[in-house]
Amino acid sequence: MTRIVTIEREYGCGAAEIARKLAEHLGWKLWDQELTREVARLAHCHQTTVAEREERRDPLYYRLLKSFARGSYEGAVNMDDPLHLLDADSLMRVSERVVHNAAAQGNCVIVGRGSQHFLRDRQDTLRFFLYAPREQKVRRLIAQGNSPADAENLVETVDHERAAFIKRYFDVEWPNRPVYHAMINTAAGDEAVIHAILSFMDRSQAAA
């Protein structure tokens, strides 16, 4: 029986809203911004800092700074400094813990954060990847208040970082097609995507 749905997504394809509507329809808990808040709480970080770092590698300047710090006496002995707490490796470990805790509660929709890989061996989990044509993603981001130039840049850079993050921590290409039960084009519209996910859930439970 399906108790968890994970949704990985291309940036700007509307996955956050679709996940919200799906969770609302099912009466399940949505783990999206709530997941970020929980990671921030456990990592003793501000939520905006976690949001800026999650699903990304450490930037080059940060990796160099961390390397220098770890090479110093202070960096070697002070394991509670902010540099240690905020690096990508630490956030990855906390995110995995939060995702598994969410899954243990069940009846939830989890958006991104590596959840499709963390939970890939669970039999009660369905994993979906949502995508859209580039021009549609750009239009959606512009409608949300971004300039055309910023929208174009975000579509390019955010997904590039997500791909690098998945490669770094799971050693697979992004999107890793074999891990998903279905990949759905959101150009069909939010309701059509939700209907497709619900139909897939129904068929999976009928076959169980």
Cβ density class 145-178: b for 16+ within 10 Å, e for less: ebeeeebbebbeebbebbeebbeebbeeebbbee
DSSP 27: T
- Residue 33: predicted pLDDT: 94
User: CA dist 86 to 55, 62, 70, 71, 154, Å?
Assistant: 13, 10, 14, 18, 23
Q: Are 133 and 187 in contact (CB under 8 A)?
A: yes
- Cα separation, 141 vs 208, in Å, equals 39
CA 138, CA 13: separation in Å to the nearest integer?
9
Please name the residue that has the structure tokens 């949505």.
Answer: 30
**Over the stretch 133-154, which tens digit does the pLDDT of each residue have?**
999 999 999 999 999 999 999 9
pLDDT at 178 over 70: yes
DSSP state at residue 187: G
- Read off the pLDDT of residues 18-75 as tens digits, 9 standing for 90 and up: 999 999 999 999 999 999 999 989 988 888 888 888 887 765 444 444 444 444 433 3
Which residue shows structure tokens 């290409």?
A: 173
Boundaries of every domain in the chain: 4-207
Q: List the beta bridge partners of residue 30.
A: 109
Write out the DSSP string of 138-184.
HHHHHHTT--HHHHHHHHHHHHHHHHHHHHHHH-S-SS-GGG-SEEE
102 or 43: which leads in pLDDT: 102
Q: What is the pLDDT of residue 208?
A: 63
pLDDT for residue 105 is more than 80: yes
Q: What is the CATH number of domain 4-207?
A: 3.40.50.300
Q: Distance between the two ends of the chain, CA-based, in angstroms? A: 7
